[in-house]
Homo-oligomer: A and B are copies of this chain.
């Protein structure tokens, strides 16, 4: 991993004893294609008497970002290819769904029951390329991942900054499964302003021995933390993380994707 993509904390004095707070922004309406998400978030926060502070990190679910960007498809739209029809039998899923997944994917990694594990065009390895039926109105509608979630995050951070006058960071989160462990956890698929990877290599531990090869995926930990305050059914798709100390940096969530040639599991 090139040094330039990671944030070395040694230059930055962190206050270690600060409390980190996680809270959702209630009252957001159902998001529609074309909606101005920064405006809706700022309005909802104002109505809930939430006053943003600089360095607040807003963790926003992929779902509402996709909706605002019009990344919604009706399942009746795509005509399944022969590949999709054949795969649909193997993985026991709707061939139209499979067709959409294949269009979003660069490669199939594994075929599981009711799920294809794929590598998306952006390089994310996840189930069904993020094509998802949940929390979308209409029996037939599914959402796709944002086309470029890091760009979405930068745009949202800029819009939120303009409306609030505060330096706000943004993480776009999605729930991914993982090998070896059951259950989904929230990870960062887009980021603006926050460190994605915190490189502690060469820093000393408590015993003053060097730490070897320790890089923390803090953007993923921030997304996971926010997930606790969202609740999958809760309708709190925007969570504020306040009090996490960091130096604002230009890092992308894409930088968390392990390069294929370094990956022992592709």
Contacts and interface: CB of A to CB of B under 8 A. Distances in A.
A48 to B, nearest CB: 8
Question: How many monomers of this chain does the complex have?
Answer: 2
A179 B185 CA distance: 14
Nearest to A230: B16
Given A17-B24, A233-B206, A181 B112 contact: no
B225 A220 contact: no
Contact of A180 (B18, B125, B205, B233): B125
A162 interface: no
Contacts of A197: 182-183
A187 B181 contact: yes
Interface stretch (A39-47, A73-81, A98-106, A129-137): A129-137
Contacts of A184: 214-217
A233 B199 CA distance: 11
Given A21-B22, A211-B233, 13 more contacts: A21-B21, A134-B207, A136-B207, A138-B207, A181-B187, A181-B256, A183-B218, A183-B256, A200-B233, A216-B227, A221-B224, A221-B225, A224-B224
Interface of A: 1, 9, 14, 16-24, 26, 30, 110, 112, 114-115, 117, 124-125, 133-139, 175, 178-187, 196-198, 200, 203-207, 209, 211-218, 220-222, 224-225, 227-229, 231-236, 244, 255-258, 263-266
